[in-house]
Amino acid sequence: MLDFARLAGQLSDFATYRVGEDGAHAARLTRAVDALDECGPGWESLRDRAQALKGGVLRAIPTTAPHQHHGCGDRPATVTVVATDGSQIFPDRHVEPACYLLNVGRVAIHYGTLDPPLIQAEPSLRYRQQDLADLADDDAQASPLDLTAEVVSALRDELELHWLFETAAAERRSGRPVLAIADGTLIRWMLRGMKNRRLETELLARYVAELDRFREAGVPVCSYVSRPANAEVVNLLRLHLGEDDWSTAPDSLRGLHDRHLFEHRLAQGERSAVFLSRSEVLSQYGPHRIVAFYVHGCAEVGRVEMPEWVANQTGWLDLIHAVVLDQCDKGRGYPVILQEAHQRAVVRMQEKDVFHRILARQVRQSGGAVPSYSGKAASKLAPRV
């Protein structure tokens, strides 16, 4: 329960603090925009310096002059766009053996044609201990495999990419461009620092294997990050300005995000230069190092990521730019096809309850122990006065 009377003072302090922060933010922004223009000529040496530096904060490596911006060309009159999004029901510790559900929503829309769209969900119930054991066998050092939220999320990401390719491969038509759009980042940095190193390596290898399939089939794949919190381009500018990585100087650009910079630098509809990510996890991506550009859609600056080989293919950057912008227009700020994929993927609270009820009934019918609620869970279900 929230006592608003006692909170009031703190809320008003926060408002005062924000006003101060906004002022500082505006000053940082002006400095960053100037720095971006300034580092244009002779950008190659800045790139080389950034590339030579090891460790420290993440810095974007520009592939062209970083201050460049490009207008959007026409979207092809006909184009097939596919997208996936996923959700899950995490394992319930009351149910033995552990099981969990992955649900991937997948959508294909054939723009400019009368071909019917594909809008479908692919649920996948997983429960075999063997599946997990296969992920990281023969490792005596490994801690016992727990079905943590982290592992389940990683498997969901992998399944999303798996279905993204399957959908693109099945729905692409000859003579019509195709583009596969994933939700969120393609950089699986969250896999780093897992307790089980072997599992981490295996999960990454499997993710990269899915990317291989796109490359072999020649299907362009990208992802859209809404409200990106990256500061890699800002960190590049800090290098240009000679700022210390951990500087706390009042005029430091620290705290500024790339999207703040490009909200100012890009006109609506424009995209930025392409930057290579230096994320450590990409060392295991083989030929799929991830590059990104920012695009100013109708409601926000979003980040569009793709493997380097996609960006290097003639015409594909323009294709991605035009399709993503059209998607944001249609979705009033966020790609409409990702919205549809999300709608199919999401497992609602009510559906979660039904899932657990059916599961409990099945376990009961087959003579298993009936799952029960812990005292704490039960007290939340039926609070007393």
Partner 1 sequence: MPDPSPPVAEVIASNTREVVAEVYPGATVPAFGSWVEVETEDGTVLYGLTSHAEIGSVEPGRQAAALGADYDRDRIRREMPQILELVRTTVRAQILAYWDGRSRRDGRPVVRQTVPPRPAALHDRVQVCGPEAVAALAAPFDVLRTLARNPDPAVPADDLLAAALRNLSDAHGDEGDAILVEAGRALARLLDEDHERLQSILRRVR
Question: Taking the complex as a whole, how short is the minimal distance between the CB of residue 227 and partner 1, in angstroms?
Answer: 23
The stretch among 62-70, 112-120, 255-263, 271-279 that binds partner 1 (CB under 8 A) is 112-120
Choice from 40, 76, 117, 371 touching partner 1 (CB under 8 A): 117
154, 178, 306, 336: residue in contact with partner 1 (rule CB under 8 A):
336
Give Cβ neighbours of residue 15 (< 8 Å, ≥ 6 apart): none
- Residue 349 within binding range of partner 1, rule CB under 8 A: no
Cβ–Cβ under 8 Å, residues 121 and 192: no
Reply yes or no: is the peptide bond before residue 76 cis, omega within 30 of 0.
no
Please identify which residue in 60, 151, 337, 345 interacts with partner 1, judged by CB under 8 A.
337
Tally Cβ neighbours within 10 Å of residue 3. 7
The answer to whether 214 contacts partner 1 (rule: CB under 8 A) is: no
Could you say which of 36, 82, 104, 109 contacts partner 1 (CB under 8 A)?
A: 109
SS3 88: strand
- For residue 117, the minimal CB distance to partner 1 (Å) is 5
Give the pairing of strands 178-183 and 221-225: parallel
In this structure, are residues 230 and 178 in contact, taking their beta carbons and an 8 Å threshold? no
Considering beta carbons, is residue 26 or 170 the nearer one to partner 1? 170
Rounded to the nearest 10 degrees, the angle between the axes of helix 336-345 and helix 316-330 is 70
What are the structure tokens assigned to 379, written together?
């007290």
Among candidate residues 202, 201, 66, the one with its CA nearest the CA of residue 135: 202
**Distance between CA 232 and CA 278 in Å, rounded?**
9
Shortest Å distance, C-beta 79 to partner 1: 11
The minimum distance between CB 119 and partner 1, in angstroms, equals 5
Cα–Cα nearest to 342, from 207, 181, 219: 181
If the CB atoms of residues 79 and 317 are measured against partner 1, the closer one turns out to be 79
CB of 272 to partner 1, least distance (A): 27
Can you tell me the distance from the alpha carbon of 219 to that of 306, in angstroms, rounded to the nearest whole number?
Answer: 12
User: Least distance in Å: CB of 163 to partner 1?
Assistant: 17
Q: Which of 313, 343, 372, 374: binder of partner 1 (CB under 8 A)?
A: 343
Counting contacts by CB under 8 A, is residue 107 touching partner 1?
yes
The C-alpha atoms of residue 105 and residue 123 are separated, in whole angstroms, by 9
| Strand extents, DSSP E, 264-330 | 271-272, 275-276, 290-296, 301-307
Q: Which of 111, 207, 275, 309 binds partner 1 (CB under 8 A)?
A: 111
Residue 340 makes contact with partner 1 by CB under 8 A: yes
Distances in whole angstroms, Cα of residue 153 to Cα of each of 87, 92, 206:
8, 15, 14
Element spanning 225, H or E: strand 221-225
Return the number of the residue (88 or 339) whose C-beta is nearest partner 1. Answer: 339
> Which pair of tokens denotes residue 302?
């979003």
Question: Between residues 200 and 340, which has the closer beta carbon with respect to partner 1?
Answer: 340
Query: In the complex, what is the shortest distance from the CB of residue 223 to partner 1, in angstroms, rounded to a whole number?
Result: 20
Residue type, 323: V
Residue 21 CB, shortest distance to partner 1, in Å, is 35
Q: Alpha-carbon distance 362 to 347, whole Å?
A: 20
If one asks whether residue 175 binds partner 1 (CB under 8 A), the answer comes out as no
We find the least distance from the C-beta atom of residue 343 to partner 1, in angstroms, to be 8
Residue with smaller CB distance to partner 1, 270 or 340: 340
Binding mask 306-335 for partner 1 (x = CB under 8 A): ------------------------x-----
Q: Does 110 bind partner 1 (CB under 8 A)?
A: yes
The residue ranges that bind partner 1 (CB under 8 A) are 107, 109-114, 116-117, 119, 330, 336-337, 340, 343
